[in-house]
């Protein structure tokens, strides 16, 4: 992710959970102590693990259950009735399936927003993944229930922040301005300040949502949230498809992070976010898959490719989002959107050893003209051979070493069967 | 590809090169003679091989050589100077690499337009693929040279049409209205009539091209070609991004086929073709990768996914190009665009046994809600395990049985190295 030298043909040393050397020259001898495991990386490309900055992992169970529908039909007639049937077991099964899929496609860090987040956290603790987790809260309910949900969200965030050797961190997440009344959002802002937690929410995903916000609150979502003090806390916004120049300027001034979800935005016909403008404004911008019911997979290499291709076509400018920028969106910019770029997102001495190895000895990587181009325009998650997080190998030759893939697939299938038979 | 029953859980029988049975019930005994090879398809999805209706296979050698550039810079400073260096060996090496890549990602039939097409035909004869091949001719040269190129194109088309047990068919291809003067295009039309061959050309790919056509010939490309009698022959147009309602009506009336190349159109910032309108007009529409230098890979599952997603997002209508339609674009509609839908494009008794098997026992295919949705929104070419064409297995467990993948990758790399060192 270093512009001067994007590709190094050489050596990398990992000591415990940290990269201690990377370079063309032989590594210093003192780093190579007894019991060193040597990995031959010939015909493989090593790169930072991908960072997926928005998703709802338990929704893997609804992958392919309803496609090609209008958003309101999809949500109210398909997603919500099914989600109401989720037991704790189903939530766990969906989340575990998602983690298998993410690991096998090279994602090492993910953001997750859903209810019963402690179940996702338990799987994350076990799976070895790095997760920024948050209980998503819909506030269209009684004040009593609101209060209980907020308490639950705060408890989760405080209990799990920094757990699993620091692999798990947490946020607070009112679901969206259109599903949480203003007074309730203010309570989240207060809690975020009190407990020093970032905020995460969906915003300006569709035109209808923006128009409804103006009707309900006399302001578009950006101004509305800004008035509620939202952006005074570190904030990660999902989608932000429909933004004016002024809104981009305001969000940039507030140093707000945005998770761009190109595939989900296309599939739900929400539109095309103004990614080139967001980057030009110097914002923290990154990529998310969104839930697997609106994508329908969790391969972040696809988001990288869509980001590189889509914005060229719709802007009629083939120079926007060049390959190097697209690759950064899925790695170091992802880390930056989660305020973790000191820790992860690139292969540098001192950073956490979160990295993946791709098999580049395949026809679609030949000739070896430009590895960055190939990773963006030709690679997919299925080229990932190995995955390490915190220096620990979690995938070897496309086999999950900790998660039991066979059992997880079986149980996910059983969960779905049970839900549709009800 | 049958709307009433898109998915069959049952049996398929192939006798020699033809499908002789498909259905839920046990196949009739008389089809199961001695020496039958039984294939257990458990946890696999069998589907028709994909049909890639536009490409330039030798250009695989330029994959990743130049990205994120303006079209004119890309063509005149990068592609053309490199293409001028191609020896016969390079053309063969690029074409062979492309065929390995296409087979390994489930494409069984492809259209190819390039020079020295006899070299591509030789590889196709050997590889077992089904190809509709045409020598692409640029007419910006002397009349003498024009004549020679046309003769060469006709000779190739006549020599190879129907060869390789009918796997190879041919067309005539003036490169584009902006690279062939009108009188020269008329000679192609005449030859197409004389020898009963279809025509293939690039048309209305970019706005600049359409505007230039108006300047040069007083008409947009559709009217221009129509005046030259082009559409009086069976015609396959690549791109056709910029079309008016009237042009769509005219092309539909002429029963012209269109190869939609969504990824190439995005990457070169040409724009977004009006796919929903083309389908609504009842046209023969299908998908192509275009050359690997503007894509940069040959996995047609990606074109299927882009077709399904892109048009929803830009039209703000999530119901356009539903999954079943997207899958047809890559299969039966591809066959229809090549006037071969009686022969290939679906799994039906009586059709050629061109089919592929995907490993669906992977996390991204769970739960098994809707296999058509999964093939469109979650699958990729890398899920392809086996490939058969004309009943002959060409890929087994992702290994090419006829083409020597290792040698082809090595030689493609050597060709590229030689070209850049010159």
CATH number at residue A18: 2.30.40.10
Tell me the chain B residues in contact with residue A412 when contact means C-beta distances shorter than 8 Å.
366-367
> A248 and A168 in one domain?
yes
Which B residues 116-135 touch A at CB under 8 Å?
none
> A132 and A31 in one domain?
no
- DSSP secondary structure code for residue B283 in this structure: -
Domain contains A343: no
Rg (chain B; Cα; Å): 21
Which B residues 362-421 touch A at CB under 8 Å?
362-364, 366-370, 373-374, 377-378, 380, 382-383, 405, 408-409, 412-413, 415-417
Model confidence band, residue A75 (pLDDT cutoffs 50, 70, 90): confident
B362-408: pLDDT as tens digits: 999 999 999 999 999 999 999 999 999 999 999 999 999 999 999 99
Distance CA B287, CA B301 (A): 10
How many A/B residue pairs have CB atoms within 8 Å?
209
Assign residue B368 the CATH number of its domain. 3.20.20.140
User: Per the CB < 8 Å rule, is A374 touching B266?
Assistant: no
Question: What average pLDDT does the segment B1-7 reach?
Answer: 90
> A273 and A175 in one domain?
yes
Which B residues 189-208 touch A at CB under 8 Å?
207
Structural domains in chain B (count): 1
Domain contains A217: yes
> A369 and A266 in one domain?
no
pLDDT at A70: 83
pLDDT at B73: 86
Q: How would you label A48-57 residue by residue, b for 16+ Cβ within 10 Å and e otherwise?
A: bbbbbbbbbb
CA dihedral for A117, B318, A263, A172, sign (positive or negative)? negative
pLDDT of B343 above 90: yes
Element (H, E) at A136: strand A130-137
Average pLDDT, chain A: 97
pLDDT of A27 above 90: yes
Only one residue has tokens 């069967």, namely A417
| Residue B310 touches partner A, C-beta closer than 8 Å | yes
Domain contains A178: yes
Element (H, E) at B150: helix B143-160
The parent domain of residue B282 ranges over: 1-422
Question: What average pLDDT does the segment B288-316 reach?
Answer: 97
Distance CA A199, CA A270 (A): 23
Domain contains A136: yes
| Residue A100 touches partner B, C-beta closer than 8 Å | yes
Task: Tell which residue, A117, A365, A131, A295, has the closest CA to residue B364.
Answer: A295
Domain contains A185: yes
Give the residues across from A395 on adjacent strands: A387, A400
In angstroms, the separation between the Cα of residue B233 and the nearest Cα of chain A is 32
Domain contains A421: no
> A115 and A20 in one domain?
no
> A260 and A112 in one domain?
yes
> A199 and A133 in one domain?
yes
| Residue B361 touches partner A, C-beta closer than 8 Å | yes
Domain contains A2: no
Domain contains A94: yes
Q: How would you label A25-47 residue by residue, b for 16+ Cβ within 10 Å and e otherwise?
A: eeeeeeeeeeeeeeeeeeebbbb
> A66 and A177 in one domain?
yes
> A313 and A384 in one domain?
no
Strands (E), B147-234: 168-170, 173-174, 199-203
User: Per the CB < 8 Å rule, is A318 touching B64?
Assistant: no
CA dihedral for B265, B267, B270, B275, sign (positive or negative)? positive
A124-176: pLDDT as tens digits: 999 999 999 999 999 999 999 999 999 999 999 999 999 999 999 999 999 99
């Amino acid at each position: 992710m270093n512009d001067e030298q994007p590709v190094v043909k050489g050596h990398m040393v990992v000591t415990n959970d940290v990269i201690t050397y990377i370079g063309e020259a032989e590594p210093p001898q003192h780093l190579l102590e007894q019991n060193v495991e040597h990995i031959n990386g010939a015909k493989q490309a090593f790169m930072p693990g991908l960072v997926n900055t928005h998703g709802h992992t338990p929704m893997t169970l609804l992958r392919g259950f309803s496609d090609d529908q209008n958003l309101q039909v999809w949500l109210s007639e398909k997603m919500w009735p099914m989600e109401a049937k989720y037991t704790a077991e189903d939530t766990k099964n969906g989340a575990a399936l998602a983690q298998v899929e993410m690991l096998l496609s090279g994602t090492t860090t993910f953001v997750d927003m859903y209810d019963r987040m402690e179940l996702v956290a338990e799987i994350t603790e076990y799976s070895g993944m790095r997760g920024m987790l948050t209980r998503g809260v819909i506030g269209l309910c009684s004040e009593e229930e609101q209060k209980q949900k907020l308490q639950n969200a705060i408890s989760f965030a405080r209990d799990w922040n920094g757990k699993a050797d620091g692999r798990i961190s947490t946020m607070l997440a009112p679901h969206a301005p259109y599903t949480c009344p203003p007074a309730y959002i203010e309570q989240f802002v207060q809690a975020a300040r009190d407990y020093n937690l970032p905020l995460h929410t969906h915003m300006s995903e569709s035109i209808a949502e923006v128009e409804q916000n103006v009707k309900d609150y006399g302001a578009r979502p950006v101004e509305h949230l800004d008035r509620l003090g939202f952006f005074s806390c570190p904030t990660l916004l999902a989608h932000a498809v429909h933004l004016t120049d002024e809104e981009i300027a305001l969000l940039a001034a507030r140093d707000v992070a945005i998770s761009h979800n190109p595939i989900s935005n296309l599939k739900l016909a929400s539109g095309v976010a103004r990614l080139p403008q967001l980057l030009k404004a110097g914002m923290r911008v990154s990529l998310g898959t969104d839930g697997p019911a609106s994508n329908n997979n969790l391969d972040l290499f696809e988001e990288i490719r869509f980001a590189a291709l889509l914005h060229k076509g719709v802007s009629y400018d083939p120079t926007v989002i060049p390959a190097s920028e697209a690759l950064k969106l899925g790695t170091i910019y992802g880390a930056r959107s989660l305020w973790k770029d000191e820790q992860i997102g690139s292969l540098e001495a001192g950073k956490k050893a979160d990295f993946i190895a791709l098999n580049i000895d395949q026809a679609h990587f030949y000739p070896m003209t430009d590895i960055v181009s190939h990773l963006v325009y030709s690679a997919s998650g299925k080229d990932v051979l190995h995955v390490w997080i915190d220096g620990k190998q979690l995938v070897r030759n496309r086999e999950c070493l900790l998660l039991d893939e066979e059992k997880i697939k079986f149980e996910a299938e059983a969960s779905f069967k049970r839900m549709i038979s009800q």
